Chain A
Amino acid sequence: MSSEPRLVQGNEACAEGAIYAGMRFYAGYPITPSTEIAEILAKRLPQVGGKFIQMEDEIASMAAVVGASLTGVKSMTATSGPGFSLKQENIGYACMAEIPCVVVNVQRLGPSTGVATAPAQGDVMQARWGTHGDHPIIVLTPSSVKETFELTVRAFNLAEKFRVPVILLMDEVVGHMREKVILPEPGELPVYDRLKPNCSREDYYPYRADWDKAPPMAFFGEGYRYHVTGLFHDESGFATEKPEVIDLQLRRLHNKIYRHLDEIITYHSEQTEDAELVVISYGGTARAVSRAVKLARQEGRKVGIFRPQTLWPFPEEAVAELAGAGKKLLVAEMNYGQLLLEVQRVAAGRCAVTGCLQTNGELTQPETILNKIREVYEHAPGN
């Protein structure tokens, strides 16, 4: 990377961010609108000593990513809605077996094949609950090309640190958008590598860790000779059906995320201090919201924007604070109200929560959001 400004596409920023973070294994399957990530990495990875493979399907690419990560290589796949559905079983495997990896979903309009080239944000809940069983998950969502690069690096850092699959939830707008950016120089952003055991094979328990931590991870082929399974397992890694051991394992899987929210949750908030109304938005939609908020301010309305970069775990504390301060909340997203549900839950009736929801394959226009701002600002009940 040079420090010269470049015109970069969102998907390209994701690919370059991954390489910057040390990703050296990519397995994927072609799907619009994420395909550029695969195309760029097919070219770039051999140049940097990495591996690229186009697998036979989405399921296989997720499986290969987990297999590769076990050998100690930072690994990634990218897809869109239909492929994201197919990957879910093995995403759950990565949660259970605690395998660090990054899964990019450049969202398109669904359900089903939907419109392959149209923007949407309909996978917010699938990213949270797509795989079966109780599991924590980290989901990050960028709203610009530069942020795509930065959050991709961050996704790897979190995956490595907490030994989890991290979902980078992009959307077609951000994925295909081109912006002039200066990409970070090596060393400018922190890059984190997973902890390895420093004990002997005899003393190594692959899943022994403090109640809120991820255990150090041995690489396959280094002589630890351990077992990895998607079955509930004890600290030795072998299957168990003992309720008390299952309970401990599942609690630790949750605690290692939920006891470290400060490290995981980031958001961007602007002009919320004096705001009577705060628009909560993310990804491509948040860009239209910025414009709408600016216009609303020009009209003399006290409006701010709250933009979570971490969707899951949801920035509950920050949103509760807005709700507690009696600000009206307007959630703008390209779906029928997925994050809206979460905001309503957190607001718990303490303030008016309204949605500005559009799911027709077009990016919500600033005017649409501005009209909604005016309506809510004037008519929604205050505190």
Chain B
Amino acid sequence: MLPEIEQYFRLEKLPHMWCPGCGNGIVLHCLVKAIDKLCLDQDRTVMVSGIGCAARASGYLDFDTLHTTHGRALAFATGVKFAKPELNVFVLTGDGDCTAIGGNHFIHAARRNINLTTIVFNNNIYGMTGGQYSPMTPNACRATTSPYGNLERPFNLAELAIAAGATFVGRATTYHTKQLTDLIIEGYKNNGFSLIEVVTHCPTSFGRHNKMGSPADMLKWQRDHGVTAMRYENLSPEERSDKFIVGVLHRCEAPEYTAEYQKLQEKFRGR
């Protein structure tokens, strides 16, 4: 491990419990690199996670860490951030955790524009329970609960976040690590709700069922299918069908919830 990031890990908790070839470690690496570049105070930074493979990330990180209930990371994080706005709060969650059971908290955290940096590890599957389809599993893909191919359509999580009111939305992959680190930095700097969707790979429970090859092959798939907005513009509809845009997808200004509440407190204190 690079010496500059070692300090952010609970080394005694490693090695991690993720499968060989899993992309989650890459996301963690980018997260702590971003934190290092931002020079965040380790004592004033909180990691909140839900339940699932991605959510186990909090236990490996040397901060105040809160491993919560399934789907509820954003709701717990709202409590932490609203009670103590001076803390930096990151939310680490998977696609099942965030978009299925936690979907309601996701759209409302975005709507409220509370200053949380949310990183969604999107591996298109429930990994911890052994490979069931999630709201982010592409149509026709196989999972243990869609053995004949998924009949449902996946969310476009970024568009969902934008429609719900998020003020920063970005997407990267575990192949595009430099970009991912930069997006986390940008997301943190945004004073409001930030979503960073990370397209990551689950070779064990998604790749295997869908004949996607080795972990390296899955990374190459990310390289070949995640394209910049500019490149996407110039693609034909056929070419676009299996591509997705990576980079900053949305940025806007809106009042941040805890700051607005602080103003309210100042106005009505002692009345």
A68 within 8 A of B: yes
Task: Check A227 against B58 for contact (C-beta < 8 Å).
Answer: yes
Q: How far is the CA of A63 from the CA of B265 in the complex (A)?
A: 23
B77 in complex: contacting residue of A27, A51, A67, CB < 8 Å: A67
Q: Which segment, of B82-90, B214-222, B242-250, faces chain A?
A: B82-90
- CB-defined contacts of A56 to chain B, threshold 8 Å: 75, 104-105, 107-108
Task: Check B79 against A68 for contact (C-beta < 8 Å).
Answer: yes
- CB-defined contacts of B82 to chain A, threshold 8 Å: 25, 51, 53, 64, 68
A70 within 8 A of B: yes
* Nearest A-chain residue to B77, judged by Cβ: A67
Task: Check B46 against A221 for contact (C-beta < 8 Å).
Answer: yes
Q: How far is the CA of A57 from the CA of B71 in the complex (A)?
A: 13
Task: Check A25 against B79 for contact (C-beta < 8 Å).
Answer: yes
Task: Check A230 against B68 for contact (C-beta < 8 Å).
Answer: yes
B42 within 8 A of A: yes
- CB-defined contacts of A65 to chain B, threshold 8 Å: 79
CB B42 to nearest CB in A, in angstroms, measures 7
CB B268 to nearest CB in A, in angstroms, measures 5
**Contacting residues of chain A (57-72) with chain B, CB-CB under 8 angstroms:** 57, 59-61, 63-72
Q: How far is the CA of A27 from the CA of B77 in the complex (A)?
A: 13
CB A26 to nearest CB in B, in angstroms, measures 11
B175 within 8 A of A: no
Task: Check A27 against B79 for contact (C-beta < 8 Å).
Answer: yes
B80 in complex: contacting residue of A71, A223, A225, A239, CB < 8 Å: A71
Digitize B104-117: 1 where CB-to-A-CB distance is under 8 Å, 0 elsewhere: 11011000000000
Q: Which segment, of B59-67, B144-152, B178-186, B189-197, faces chain A?
A: B59-67
Given A71-B84, A227-B65, A228-B67: A220 and B76 interface contact (C-beta under 8 Å): no
Q: How far is the CA of A220 from the CA of B270 in the complex (A)?
A: 27
Q: How far is the CA of A323 from the CA of B215 in the complex (A)?
A: 70
**Contacting residues of chain A (224-240) with chain B, CB-CB under 8 angstroms:** 224-231, 238-239
Digitize A30-72: 1 where CB-to-B-CB distance is under 8 Å, 0 elsewhere: 0000000000000000111101010111011101111111111
A90 within 8 A of B: yes
Task: Check B271 against A47 for contact (C-beta < 8 Å).
Answer: yes
Task: Check B64 against A220 for contact (C-beta < 8 Å).
Answer: yes
Task: Check A70 against B66 for contact (C-beta < 8 Å).
Answer: yes
Task: Check B83 against A228 for contact (C-beta < 8 Å).
Answer: no
Task: Check B83 against A73 for contact (C-beta < 8 Å).
Answer: yes
CB A242 to nearest CB in B, in angstroms, measures 16
Digitize B198-242: 1 where CB-to-A-CB distance is under 8 Å, 0 elsewhere: 000000000000000000000000000000000000000000000
B48 within 8 A of A: yes
B4 within 8 A of A: no
Number of interface residues of B (CB under 8 A): 41
B72 within 8 A of A: yes
Task: Check B59 against A239 for contact (C-beta < 8 Å).
Answer: yes
A4 within 8 A of B: no
B264 within 8 A of A: yes
Number of interface residues of A (CB under 8 A): 43
* Nearest B-chain residue to A90, judged by Cβ: B69
A238 in complex: contacting residue of B13, B44, B75, B265, CB < 8 Å: B13
Digitize A186-224: 1 where CB-to-B-CB distance is under 8 Å, 0 elsewhere: 000000000000000000000000000000000011111
Task: Check A51 against B83 for contact (C-beta < 8 Å).
Answer: yes
Given A230-B67, A238-B13: A68 and B265 interface contact (C-beta under 8 Å): no
Q: How far is the CA of A46 from the CA of B264 in the complex (A)?
A: 7
A68 in complex: contacting residue of B13, B64, B80, CB < 8 Å: B80
CB A210 to nearest CB in B, in angstroms, measures 25
Residue among B42, B59, B84, B270 facing the most chain A CB atoms (10 A cut-off): B84
B78 within 8 A of A: yes
A75 within 8 A of B: yes
Residue among A51, A75, A93, A230 facing the most chain B CB atoms (10 A cut-off): A51
Task: Check A231 against B105 for contact (C-beta < 8 Å).
Answer: no
A57 in complex: contacting residue of B63, B104, B268, CB < 8 Å: B104
Task: Check A68 against B104 for contact (C-beta < 8 Å).
Answer: no
B59 in complex: contacting residue of A75, A90, A229, CB < 8 Å: A229
Task: Check B270 against A228 for contact (C-beta < 8 Å).
Answer: no
- CB-defined contacts of A66 to chain B, threshold 8 Å: 68, 76, 79
Residue among B48, B69, B261 facing the most chain A CB atoms (10 A cut-off): B69
Task: Check A47 against B269 for contact (C-beta < 8 Å).
Answer: yes
Task: Check B42 against A67 for contact (C-beta < 8 Å).
Answer: no
**Contacting residues of chain B (34-73) with chain A, CB-CB under 8 angstroms:** 42-44, 46, 48, 58-59, 62-69, 72
Digitize A75-98: 1 where CB-to-B-CB distance is under 8 Å, 0 elsewhere: 100000000000001100100000
A63 in complex: contacting residue of B42, B46, B79, B271, CB < 8 Å: B79
CB B257 to nearest CB in A, in angstroms, measures 8
B83 in complex: contacting residue of A48, A75, A231, A239, CB < 8 Å: A75
Task: Check A225 against B105 for contact (C-beta < 8 Å).
Answer: no
A64 in complex: contacting residue of B58, B79, B271, CB < 8 Å: B79
Task: Check B83 against A225 for contact (C-beta < 8 Å).
Answer: no
Can you name 13 A-B residue pairings with CB atoms under 8 Å? Answer: A46-B268, A49-B269, A56-B104, A61-B75, A63-B105, A67-B66, A68-B80, A70-B64, A90-B69, A220-B64, A220-B84, A228-B67, A231-B67
A residues whose Cβ falls under 8 Å from a Cβ of B: 25, 27, 46-49, 51, 53, 55-57, 59-61, 63-73, 75, 89-90, 93, 220-231, 238-239
B residues whose Cβ falls under 8 Å from a Cβ of A: 13, 42-44, 46, 48, 58-59, 62-69, 72, 75-84, 86-87, 104-105, 107-108, 261, 264-265, 267-271
Q: Which 5 A-B pairs have the closest CB atoms?
A: A67-B79, A64-B79, A63-B75, A68-B83, A60-B75
Other than A55-B75, A71-B83, give 8 A-B pairs with Cβ distance below 8 A: A53-B78, A56-B105, A64-B78, A73-B83, A73-B84, A225-B62, A227-B59, A228-B67
